[in-house]
């Protein structure tokens, strides 16, 4: 029988604060678990006190009923005293329930700022320097005088970032002609590959509410990294992971339907807070970009194997496009907020002479399901299921990799064979 791993609920913090503190400390940061623990103890004490008073109040109500039945007058001294005591109970319960409500809000607010537990299988480390390379694939192109993807894009008139600042601001881009065609070809190619592999295609809304962002783990932690519509409780979605999580919010999913596998194309919007000065040119770090996202809902006992499979499905796109890449096992200190274990796929960019992230495939265990109240039935008990996500892939970064790895000495770019039926040509050339 599978034993469910409990993640960051009040009961766990109240009963095992040391365990919570030790698990979170693997991320290399300090979290004030003793303070939250104290609040959960106070809340439990109030819960018990309210329960006891409600029990006494019920007993008192029976006595009042009996006294009314046997008394000749509704104003007997005994009845008046009993009613007075009943009012005292109600007043006490009302005051305690208000304290209970305030404590509940404070506890939930603090728990929402706590990240997921790192997996016991994730490498221990404080930052990306402790990530572990799992494997490499393909032969990285290593030559001198190779052009960057933005130089290639400019020479082939594939995109324009300068004119885009007139439309919006910096870090946005307008795709032109074959650049737009290549983007569309990549989206269709990826969606076709994944749907053939058993994924159900969705196109979710690009605007999401605060509850959806909270459920997937973006709020409240990363509010400064998202774009908000000031007149509505709506945000521009930073990733399709957000609406896909919320798609089954507050549901109990029939276990016979599991695993549920979705693939979604969506535009994504991020402020990229704290990243200014990095990758200011080209397609690597934009405020708006397109992405094909993979998402799983699965039985908790199957999520470790599901994590391998979703990573393999993302890998397959890189293989089909013949793009050299490596897989990196992310250490505990570099894990994303909602993830328990993450494998990053990093594609080779020749101009930088390094691998760059193109997909993060994460197992979130029941972290997002708990925040979004998504459950299934296991042995007739409602149980939080597990969620997994991964880019399959980020379109702009894939285009950058194709331009750099496919560059030819005559200035053209060879299109990967698997993409030719979608793009309609073997080469990108100047008009």
Tokens representing residue 409 in the block: 């000495």
| CATH of the structural domain 128-428, one choice from 3.30.930.10, 3.30.1490.20, 3.40.50.720, 3.60.15.10 | 3.30.930.10
pLDDT given for residue 80 in this prediction: 79
User: Mind listing the pLDDT tens digit of every residue in the chain (431 residues)?
Assistant: 233 444 578 999 999 999 999 999 999 999 999 999 999 999 999 999 999 999 998 898 888 777 677 765 567 777 778 888 889 989 999 999 999 999 999 999 999 999 999 999 999 999 999 999 999 999 999 998 899 999 999 999 999 999 999 999 999 999 999 999 999 999 999 999 999 999 999 999 999 999 999 999 999 999 999 999 989 999 999 999 999 999 999 999 999 999 999 999 999 999 975 555 556 789 999 999 999 999 999 999 999 999 999 999 999 999 999 999 999 999 999 999 999 999 999 999 999 999 999 999 999 999 999 999 999 999 999 999 999 999 999 999 999 999 999 999 999 999 999 999 999 999 999 76
pLDDT given for residue 68 in this prediction: 73
Whole-number Å distance between alpha carbons of 374 and 254: 11
User: What is residue 351's DSSP assignment?
Assistant: T
Burial class (CB in 10 A: 0-12, 13-18, 19+), 302: middle
Whole-number Å distance between alpha carbons of 68 and 324: 85
- In this chain, the answer to whether the domains covering 10-111 and 128-428 adopt an identical fold is no
Domain residues of the chain, as ranges?
10-111, 128-428
Whole-number Å distance between alpha carbons of 119 and 123: 9
Q: Which fold has domain 10-111?
A: Helix Hairpins (1.10.287)
Count Cβ neighbours within 10 Å for each residue of 124-161 and write b for 16 or more, e otherwise: ebeeeebbeeeeeebebbeeeebbbbbbbbbebebbbb
Beta strands 325-329 and 374-378 are unpaired
pLDDT given for residue 79 in this prediction: 78
């Amino acid at each position: 029988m599978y034993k469910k791993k409990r993640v960051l609920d009040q009961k766990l913090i109240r009963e095992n604060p040391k365990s919570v503190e030790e698990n979170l400390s693997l991320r290399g940061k300090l979290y004030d678990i003793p303070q939250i623990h104290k609040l959960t103890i106070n809340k439990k004490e109030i819960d018990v006190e309210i329960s006891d008073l409600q029990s006494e109040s019920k007993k008192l109500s029976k006595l009042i009923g009996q006294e009314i039945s046997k008394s000749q007058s509704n104003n007997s001294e005994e009845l008046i005293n009993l009613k007075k005591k009943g009012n005292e109970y109600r007043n006490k319960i009302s005051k305690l329930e208000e304290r209970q409500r305030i404590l509940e809000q404070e506890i939930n607010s603090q728990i929402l700022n706590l990240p997921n537990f790192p997996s016991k299988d994730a490498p221990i480390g404080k930052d990306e320097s402790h990530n572990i390379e799992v494997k490499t694939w393909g032969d990285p192109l290593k030559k001198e005088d190779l052009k960057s993807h933005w130089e290639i894009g400019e020479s082939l008139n594939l995109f324009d970032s300068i004119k885009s600042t007139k439309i919006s601001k910096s870090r946005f881009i307008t795709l032109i002609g074959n650049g737009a065609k290549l983007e569309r070809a990549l989206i269709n190619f990826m969606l076709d590959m994944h749907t053939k592999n058993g994924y159900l295609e969705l196109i979710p809304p690009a605007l999401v509410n605060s509850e959806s962002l909270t459920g997937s783990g973006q709020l409240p932690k990363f509010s400064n990294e998202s774009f908000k519509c000031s007149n509505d409780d709506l945000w521009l979605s930073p990733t399709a992971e957000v609406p896909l999580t919320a798609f089954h919010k507050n549901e109990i999913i029939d276990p016979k339907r599991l695993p549920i596998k979705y693939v979604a194309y969506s535009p994504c919007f991020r402020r990229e807070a704290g990243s200014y000065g990095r990758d200011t040119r080209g397609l690597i770090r934009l405020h708006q970009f397109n992405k094909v996202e993979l998402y799983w809902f699965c039985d908790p006992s199957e999520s470790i194997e599901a994590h391998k499979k979703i990573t393999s499905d993302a890998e397959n796109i890189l293989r089909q496009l013949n793009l050299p890449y490596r897989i990196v096992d992310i250490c505990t200190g570099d894990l994303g907020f909602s993830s328990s274990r993450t494998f990053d796929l990093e594609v080779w960019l020749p101009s930088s002479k390094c691998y760059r992230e193109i997909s993060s495939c994460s197992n979130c265990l029941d972290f997002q399901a708990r925040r979004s109240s998504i459950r299934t039935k296991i042995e007739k008990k409602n149980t939080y299921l597990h969620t997994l996500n991964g880019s399959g892939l980020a379109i702009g970064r894939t285009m950058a990799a194709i331009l750099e790895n496919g560059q030819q000495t005559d200035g053209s770019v060879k299109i990967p064979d698997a993409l030719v039926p979608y793009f309609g040509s073997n080469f990108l050339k100047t008009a």
